[in-house]
């Protein structure tokens, strides 16, 4: 999430009760979680396992619970509970806004767009021209929809990320991280019925231009899907994945979090991708492997009884 304008670290330190160390005269341009940080961003870390990763990431400023050595130009905001400080900042700059009407007065809706009765359009949503939003679809706060987009009935764009801060030394193990990111749906996209697309935790979930979704598809937070992709029904994609241009994903596939699928890859039905996959290849199975290899192996497996009988007769 980008701040409306750069915010001084001193103000953030005063607001969160943090001690400043390093480049204390700087200003932050946004707040982000570790998978999506950019220069100028604030990020938080509260576990020694991730100290080095955060300090040496693209983030310029780190909310942390101990003093540490940092690269020149960066700054630490040292506070007992970095997660609570992070949440306080997010809730200040992206507070909850109740909805008073089915279509928010702050929404911007382009010429020629038709919104069916019972659809919901949240606060600060932008919808382009010549879109069709079907009954019972919901586009939640701050989401961006391009031109010529079709969103079928029952689909939810911008539901909260399934993302929790986990600590087993407290009564409530899983504490919800507030989702301040958006969903950005580019031009000429069609999203089928009863799909759910989670907003980014602090960045954007993106559906690229010309991509088409069937029904009952779930896209996790901060995932970026390229242009002209094709997704059949019941596909599930974990958070922070990157699916490049022209990928085809057939029915019932599961794509794990934080991986990359290369351009023009094809995942045949019921494939499960647990790691990065190269582009311009066809995959099948669990775990995903090149379909031709799997098919040849199945042919040989079917021949095992025949080969066994030959061996026994010798």
CATH code (residue 204): 2.160.10.10
168/265 same-domain check? yes
Among residues 134, 142, 203, 221, which one is catalytic?
221
Residue range 179-202: mean pLDDT, rounded:
97
Rounded Cα distance, 307 and 314, in Å: 11
Contacts of 10 (CB under 8 A, 6+ apart): 20, 24
Same domain flag for 214 and 283: yes
- The verdict on 64 and 139 lying in the same domain is no
Task: Tell me: pLDDT of 157 over 90.
Answer: yes
Q: What's the structural domain count of the chain?
A: 2
Assess whether pLDDT exceeds 90 at residue 312. no
Return d(Cα 85, Cα 219) in angstroms, integer.
28
62 & 115 share domain: no
Do 119 and 88 sit in the same domain of this protein? no
Give the pLDDT mean for 187-199: 98
Is residue 307 one of the residues assigned to a domain? no
Active site residue 124: no
Measured between alpha carbons, how far is 32 from 58 in angstroms, rounded to an integer? Answer: 11
161: in domain = yes
Domain final position from 70, 93, 116: 93
Q: What pLDDT, on the 0 to 100 scale, is given for residue 125?
A: 98
* pLDDT at residue 313 in the model: 80
Residue 42 pLDDT more than 80?
Answer: yes
The answer on pLDDT for 51 being more than 80 is: yes
On whether the pTM is more than 0.75, the answer is yes
Please check the confidence at residue 309 and state whether its pLDDT lies above 90.
Answer: no
pLDDT of 18 higher than 80: yes
Position 314 pLDDT exceeds 80: no
Asked whether 127 and 113 are in contact (CB, 8 A), the reply is: yes
The share of the chain scoring above pLDDT 70, in percent, equals: 100
Q: Confirm whether 265 is domain-assigned.
A: yes
Same domain, 161 and 282: yes
* Contact in structure between 116 and 157 (CB atoms under 8 Å): no
Is 149 among the domain residues? yes
112 and 34 within one domain: no
Confidence bin at 114 (pLDDT 50/70/90)? very high
On whether residue 99 sits in a domain, the answer given is: no
* Domain span holding position 40: 2-93
Domain's final residue, options 41, 61, 93:
93
Dihedral sign from CA coordinates of 302, 308, 309, 314? positive
pLDDT at 232 over 80: yes
Q: Is residue 313 part of a domain?
A: no
Q: If you average pLDDT over every residue of the chain, what do you get? A: 95
* pLDDT of 214 over the 90 cut: yes
183 with 258, same domain: the answer is yes
Residue 218 falls within a domain, yes or no?
Answer: yes
Same domain, residue pair 78 and 112: no
> 158 and 267, same structural domain?
yes
- Structural domain contains residue 308: no
Mean pLDDT of 63-68: 93
CA–CA separation, 136 and 10 (whole Å): 45
Residue 152 pLDDT level (bands cut at 50, 70, 90): very high
With residue 298 as reference, give the H or E element that holds it: helix 291-302
Tell whether 67 and 120 lie within a shared domain: no
Q: In the prediction, which pLDDT does 47 show?
A: 87
- 85 and 34 in a single domain? The answer is yes
pLDDT for residue 204 is more than 80 = yes
| CATH at 6 | 3.40.1390.10
């Amino acid at each position: 999430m980008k701040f409306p304008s750069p915010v001084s670290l001193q103000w953030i330190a005063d607001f969160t009760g943090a001690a400043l160390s390093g480049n204390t005269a700087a200003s932050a341009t946004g707040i982000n979680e570790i998978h999506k940080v950019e220069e100028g961003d604030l990020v938080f870390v509260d576990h020694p396992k991730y100290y080095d990763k955060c300090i040496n990431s693209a983030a310029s400023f780190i909310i942390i619970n101990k003093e540490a050595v940092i690269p020149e130009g960066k700054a630490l905001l040292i506070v007992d509970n970095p997660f609570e400080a992070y949440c306080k900042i997010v809730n200040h700059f992206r507070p909850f806004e109740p909805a008073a009407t089915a279509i928010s007065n702050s929404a911007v809706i382009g010429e020629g767009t038709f919104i069916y009765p019972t659809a919901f359009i949240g606060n600060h949503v932008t919808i382009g021209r010549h879109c069709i939003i079907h009954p019972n679809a919901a586009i939640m706060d701050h989401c961006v929809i391009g031109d010529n987009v079709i969103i079928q009935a029952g689909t939810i764009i911008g539901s909260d990320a399934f993302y929790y801060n986990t600590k087993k030394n407290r009564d409530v193990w899983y504490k919800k991280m507030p989702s301040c990111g958006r969903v950005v749906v580019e031009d000429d996209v069609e999203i089928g019925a009863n799909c759910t697309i989670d907003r980014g935790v602090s960045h954007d979930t993106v559906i690229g231009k010309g991509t088409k979704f069937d029904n009952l598809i779930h896209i996790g937070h901060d995932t970026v899907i390229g242009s002209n992709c094709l997704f059949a029904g019941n596909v599930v994609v974990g958070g922070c994945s990157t699916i490049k241009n022209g990928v085809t994903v057939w029915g019932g596939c599961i794509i794990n979090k934080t991986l990359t699928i290369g351009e023009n890859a094809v995942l045949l039905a019921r494939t499960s991708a647990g790691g990065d996959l190269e582009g311009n290849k066809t995959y099948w199975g669990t775990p995903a492997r090149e379909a031709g290899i799997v098919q040849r192996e199945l042919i040989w497996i079917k021949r095992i009884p025949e080969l066994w009988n030959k061996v026994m007769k010798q």
